[in-house]
Amino acid sequence: MDPSTDTSSAVARFKQCISQLPHITTDQPGVGGEIKAVPEHFQVEEMLPYAASGEGEHLYVTLRRKGWNTTDVAAALAEPFGLKTRDIGWGGRKDKQAISTQTFSLPMPLRNDLAAAEAQLAQLPFDILAVQRHGNKIKTGHVAANRFRIVLSGVGPEALAPASAIADQLRQRGLPNFYGEQRFGIGMGNLDRAMALIRRQRPARGAQETFWVSVLQSALFNVWLSERMARGDYATILQGDVAQKTDTGGLFTVDDPAEAADRFTRRALVYTGPIYGHKMMPAAEPAAAFEERVLTDYGLTRDLFKRLRAPGSRRRAILHLDDLHIAPDPDGLRLTFTLPPGAYATIVLREFTRPPFLLNEKSDKQDGL
């Protein structure tokens, strides 16, 4: 982007797109309702990709909490053992205004008595569910999935039938894997910060600026997927798409659309969208033209992300919600489902609520909500 270019129009367009993301169940009426009327209405359990071995110099502490953000939990775990917050490991951030179950790791030499450590942990304001030893620290991204149990309140028994119809269509069509609005901050202010960073014409510095770059990448992905849906290509594999195998996660470029379409129908693969960066696996033509057009429409170039030191990646465009279930609840409707890390439960819920989407929440950086 030319530093003299006015970025305000680009920011306005980003915000308009993100606030008006398309739905995949448009032929079904929404049911309204509210989520997070109380924290108990939003429950999430983080699943690790491996179990604690019972041996090693790290302590895996699985706990349940309410009204705490992830970094504050880490600080509370560190204090009794004289550790720093940075010593505590976790896989991803979880919602503060919710009931969240998550595993943290603490460095704990073998000479330290496990029973004594458990006694100290029991004094903390959390429900300690398990304490086990393991050989490594939990690092960011060490998450297999997030299981959700969410109550949609403010709806009556008559909402069950239309909600069930929406769930049926989501199981059949899959869910567009958009980034949720909460990623972009209050008033989508993180987009303003990201574009201001671009105007400075220098690499991103520190965790905060790196996050702002990721916000820009997320907005561009949402634009790309919105435009693909508008073209009618949501359920179509294109020549040149970068596809992902659903069993191994391997990426490849589609050169035989007919063969890929059969595997796509069988859910053996999904197509992916661009998280723009200088190391991103590029699509081939003609799919590449659509990815390039998103950048040029917003006055951006691939060289920008090299200057920002943003490597980029691919993000699967469609999520399959095979375990999505709807049931009556005394407070409305209860939804249960599982999402991979980085996916947003609010994107599932907006298919049911439609505008206005009522989210009773204070700002808190999240993953997988």
Strand partners, 220: none
Catalytic residue among 6, 27, 95, 331, which? 95
Quick check: is 95 catalytic? yes
| CA 352 – CA 70 distance, rounded (Å) | 28
Token duo for residue 317: 């465009």
| CA 218 – CA 208 distance, rounded (Å) | 15
DSSP for 178-236, please give it: PPPGGGG-GGGHHHHHHHHHHHTTS---HHHHHHHHHHHHHHHHHHHHHHHHHHT-TT-
Backbone phi, psi, residue 96, to 5° = -75, -45
| CA 46 – CA 93 distance, rounded (Å) | 10
**Are the CB atoms for 139 and 91 separated by under 8 Å?**
yes
Active site residues: 95
